[in-house]
Amino acid sequence: MEQLATVWRAMALDRDARADVRDLPGIAVRWADCRFAFWNCITLTDVGAEAELLSQRLVQAADIMRSKKHPGFLWLFEDLLDDGARSALEKAAERAGLQHAFPGTGMSGDLLPVPEPVHPDLTFVRVTSDEHLRAYADLNSRAYGFPLEEGRDGLAGSTIWKNEVHAYLGIRGDDPVACAATVEAEGRLFVVLVATDPKWQRRGYGEAVTRKALYEGARATGLTRATLHATVAGAPVYPRIGFKPNSPIHFYSLKG
């Protein structure tokens, strides 16, 4: 949760210096209000929240989300809740006007450095240009089912992604087919926006380019621990690199 709040602060402000970046009691708002829904984020930060407090926080979060122009997600880390709150979560979310969008899993590991990766089909190119950024955005849009324009709105013209983020494209022939990035966050490397073109999945491309981003990030920073938030598609991949699952994550959007 703390890694999300740290990294998403930078990502939201990268999109818009006027982004809504606030730390409220029990709620972290990281809302760029751009068309790329992943950069519009709220997460709950209470540790050991009970059912009544959870219900209050969900209502507060939903109210904030309704005040925004563009949709986004509430990221809820299940292990921050006590047993009663976990049991009450589904009904409390429904009462707040939220619907479950998709599940995820938090993962971490003291796994760095990793060996320099190779893949017989791929060459790796660091993202340093607007053309690279567009290719990176388009891969994420295709992988996650966003319109291309929405993904591009999340990365176009970014300075951070061309300089501070260790972002890599996996190129097959002349075509970008996979991408992954790492960024330093409070003594860890955080893995962000891993994607593989649906036409080229299940060939090891996502794993290879993630290893490349980890390898280069560790080489640049000297860090040894890494964290990430995995979708269902990525969850089987990361343990092969050395990540261990910790908290289940629930992603919620507003109903309707």
Q: What is the pLDDT of residue 234?
A: 87
Could you tell me which residues come within 8 angstroms of residue 77 by beta carbon, excluding any fewer than 6 positions away? 1, 43, 44, 106, 247, 248, 249
Q: pLDDT-derived band of residue 233, with 50, 70 and 90 as boundaries?
A: confident
Q: What pLDDT, in 10s, does the model give residues 59-83? A: 999 999 999 999 999 999 999 999 9
Q: Name the DSSP letter for residue 113.
A: S
CB 68 within 8 A of CB 31: yes
Tell me how long the chain is: 256
Q: Is 222 exposed, middle or buried (0-12, 13-18, 19+ CB in 10 A)?
A: exposed
Q: What is the pLDDT of residue 80?
A: 97
Retrieve residue 155's tokens: 């990365």
Whole-prediction pTM? 0.94
* CATH number of the structural domain 123-224: 3.40.630.30
Q: For the chain, what are the domain ranges?
A: 2-105, 123-224
So what's the pLDDT on residue 156?
94
Return phi, psi of residue 29, to 5°: -100, 125
Computed over every residue of the chain, the mean pLDDT equals 97
Q: What is the pLDDT of residues 142-201, one digit of tens each?
A: 999 999 999 999 999 999 999 999 999 999 999 999 999 999 999 999 999 999 999 999
**Identity (one letter) of the amino acid at 220?**
A
Q: How far apart are CA 205 and CA 180, in angstroms?
A: 10
Q: What is the tens place of the pLDDT at every residue in 5-27?
A: 999 999 999 999 999 999 999 99
